[in-house]
């Protein structure tokens, strides 16, 4: 990912230009919780702004959890973490800002160049273990350490994303009593819903390092059900790993949490294997080889979306340019109008003859452009008006033909008030199947707006429960619209009447993308074998309501169907009215 166009995506029409005073320069990505943008502090330092999805932001319970996680993350300081510098759990919408790390994730680096050499894996383990020391030192368990949450900067790794981390002095489970994490990198106790401790993160550290050395997950790919079963019931095949890494990997991946090393022990062991390189600062050279050339970060955005690549030192605290004291330049400089030379007292200097001639040429050119543009605009408006009149006449002609050329009694060529005035009720308002009959009402000047979504977070689906889409509540029976069904070794989402399909595009499905995915879909059941945390399913209810289910936890791996469950955040868009 050395191409800036792959890292920094331009803002789209539905992206805000700023968030809480931070001007957004580019989009970095999207996930189940929201979108991430590039911005800058007032001093010009790049930051990553994560903005929460509106439907989640409307849920008071989510805001409380988000605020608790922010307070925990604020305490973390470490050389190998991306520091949280600003946040607002009560913002509209909630958001947080962390220092931007210019570098690919470990997952991206391995996908691009393959497995990392042993020295790079040792530096990786030492850096991530040191980050865990800082995190655990503040009483926090990360819970979702994985290759995509480890960024590779030019001077070493950075552990990011405490979005689902919880303070260790809270309960080991989430608000609904379910496990949190990514299946391929869970520890056995995490997969079975047991106590989650700092040792859980050490197991994930071993899996992450093994991924870096192998280029693939240590416990294999495939359905999450099989991966979790292997994690819980079988020892990993360490013979696949380079021999120097095996002793520490075996300790990190011990089934018993008490047998795993502490992060401090991992750091000490890695430094011993690195030898003199650990003391002479050989890490940066290794990372430059792994990450390749650094991608240039776009400069700060101005108020109009443009950028100023270099500051222009035209203002200083020693030059009083206003009646109330010195004018200090704080942020990007935006110029509106021509720049003129300044006299010694701060006033505009005299305009030289060549400047005056250039200004006159610019004025003449702008006048020609304005006149031409105005003529084109008037012509375009005239053409648009002509098209509208032609369409109206065609519709009137078609309406008359469809009724046999003879209107009902009391009607005339000009529509009556009872048929056109929305404040007057009349028989002309009623049509077949609830639709208005043609020619009985003026067309709406604007298209109907999309229905507003309602968020229903943390829905619980099991063999004894289901979820009801119109009401947005979990039922303690199997009579809801969507339920979990497990047969033999597979589990699926199923419904008697609603249509279900899985989204395979980038995270962040919308009403429009769900509509497109559901077009032509007929299945009332969809297997969960390829689903994991963050997977999205679109569901269309017979009423016309559309729901988006974002999987948060899937626990279907142990073969005990009675204990299998899925939790999902649900967003419902009611049918247009």
Active-site residue set: 144
- From start to end of 120-181, where are the E strands? 140-141, 150-153, 156-159, 166-167
- Encoding tokens for residue 382? 């005239």
The torsion angles phi and psi of 538, rounded to 5 degrees, stand at -100, 135
Q: How far apart are the first and last CA of the chain?
A: 45
Cis peptide bond upstream of 279, omega within 30? no
- Total Cβ atoms within 10 A of residue 453: 18
Q: Which of 565, 479, 474 is nearest to 528 (CA)?
A: 565
Q: Do 206 and 235 touch, CB atoms closer than 8 A?
A: no
Helix and strand numbers, DSSP H then E, in the chain: 15, 21
CA–CA gap between residue 145 and residue 161 (Å, rounded): 9
The burial class, CB within 10 Å (0-12 / 13-18 / 19+), for 114 is exposed
CA separation for the pair 389, 259 (Å, rounded): 81
Whose structure tokens read 């100023």?
308
- How far is it, in rounded angstroms, from Cα 499 to Cα 362? 62
Pairing state between β 166-167 and 466-468 = unpaired
Q: How many residues are listed for the chain in this entry?
A: 577
Q: Residue 402 burial by CB count (10 A; 0-12/13-18/19+): exposed, middle or buried?
A: exposed
How many Å apart are CA 507 and CA 35, to the nearest integer?
Answer: 10
Strands (E), 263-395: none
To which H or E segment does residue 517 belong?
helix 511-518
- Compute the distance between CA of residue 325 and CA of residue 553 in angstroms, rounded to an integer: 58
Q: Return the structure tokens found at 481.
A: 């619209």
The DSSP code sequence of 287-302 is HHHHH-SPPPPPPPB-
Question: Radius of gyration (Cα) for the chain, nearest Å?
Answer: 31
């Amino acid at each position: 990912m050395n191409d800036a166009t792959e890292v920094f995506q331009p803002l789209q029409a539905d992206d805000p230009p700023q968030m809480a005073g931070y001007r957004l320069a580019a989009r970095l990505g999207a996930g189940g919780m929201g979108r991430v943008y590039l911005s800058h502090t007032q001093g010009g330092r790049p930051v990553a702004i994560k903005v929460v999805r509106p439907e989640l932001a409307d849920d008071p319970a989510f805001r409380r959890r988000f605020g608790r996680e922010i307070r925990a993350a604020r305490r973390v300081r470490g050389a190998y973490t991306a520091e949280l510098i600003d946040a607002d759990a009560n913002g509209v919408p909630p958001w947080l800002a962390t220092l931007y790390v210019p570098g690919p994730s470990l997952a991206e680096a391995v996908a691009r160049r393959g497995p990392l050499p042993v020295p790079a894996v040792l530096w990786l383990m030492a850096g991530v273990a040191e980050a865990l020391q800082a995190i655990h030192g503040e009483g926090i368990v990360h819970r979702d350490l994985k290759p995509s949450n480890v960024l590779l900067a030019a001077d070493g790794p950075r552990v990011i994303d405490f979005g689902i981390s919880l303070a260790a002095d809270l309960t080991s489970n989430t608000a609904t009593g379910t496990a949190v994490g990514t299946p391929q990198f869970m520890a056995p106790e995490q997969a079975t819903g047991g106590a989650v401790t700092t040792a859980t993160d050490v197991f994930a550290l071993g899996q992450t390092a093994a991924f870096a050395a192998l280029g693939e997950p240590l416990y294999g790919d495939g359905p999450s059900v099989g991966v979790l079963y292997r994690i819980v019931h079988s020892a990993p095949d360490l013979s696949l790993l380079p021999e120097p890494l095996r002793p520490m990997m075996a300790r990190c991946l011990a089934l018993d949490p008490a047998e795993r090393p502490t992060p401090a022990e991992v750091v000490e062991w890695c430094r011993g294997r690195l030898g003199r390189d650990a003391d002479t600062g050989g890490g940066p050279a290794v990372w430059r080889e792994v990450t390749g050339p650094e991608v240039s970060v776009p400069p700060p955005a101005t108020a109009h979306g443009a950028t100023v690549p270099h500051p222009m030192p035209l203002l200083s605290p020693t030059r009083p340019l206003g009646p109330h004291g010195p004018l200090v330049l704080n942020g990007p400089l935006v110029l509106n109008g021509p720049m003129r030379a300044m006299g010694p007292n701060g006033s505009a200097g005299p305009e030289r003859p060549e400047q005056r001639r250039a200004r006159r040429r610019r004025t003449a050119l702008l006048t020609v452009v304005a006149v031409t543009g105005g003529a084109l605009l008037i012509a375009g408006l005239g053409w648009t008006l002509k098209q509208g009149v032609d369409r109206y006449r065609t519709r009137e002609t078609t309406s008359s033909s469809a009724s046999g050329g003879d209107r009902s009694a009391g009607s005339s060529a000009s529509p009556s008030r009872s048929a056109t005035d929305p404040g007057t009720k009349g028989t002309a308002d009623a049509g077949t199947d609830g639709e208005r009959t043609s020619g009985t009402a003026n067309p709406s000047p604007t298209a109907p707006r999309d229905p507003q979504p309602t968020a229903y977070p943390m829905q619980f689906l099991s063999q004894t429960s289901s979820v009801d889409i119109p009401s947005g509540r979990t039922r303690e029976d199997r009579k809801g619209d969507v339920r979990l069904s497990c047969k033999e070794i597979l589990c699926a989402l199923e419904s008697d009447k609603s249509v279900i399909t899985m989204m395979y595009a980038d995270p962040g499905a919308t009403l429009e993308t769900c509509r497109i995915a559901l077009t032509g879909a007929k299945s009332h059941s969809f297997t969960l074998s390829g689903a994991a945390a963050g997977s999205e399913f679109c569901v269309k209810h017979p009423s016309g309501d559309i729901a988006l289910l974002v999987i948060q936890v899937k626990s279907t791996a142990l073969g005990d169907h009675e204990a299998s469950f899925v939790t999902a955040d649900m967003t419902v868009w009611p049918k247009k009215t």
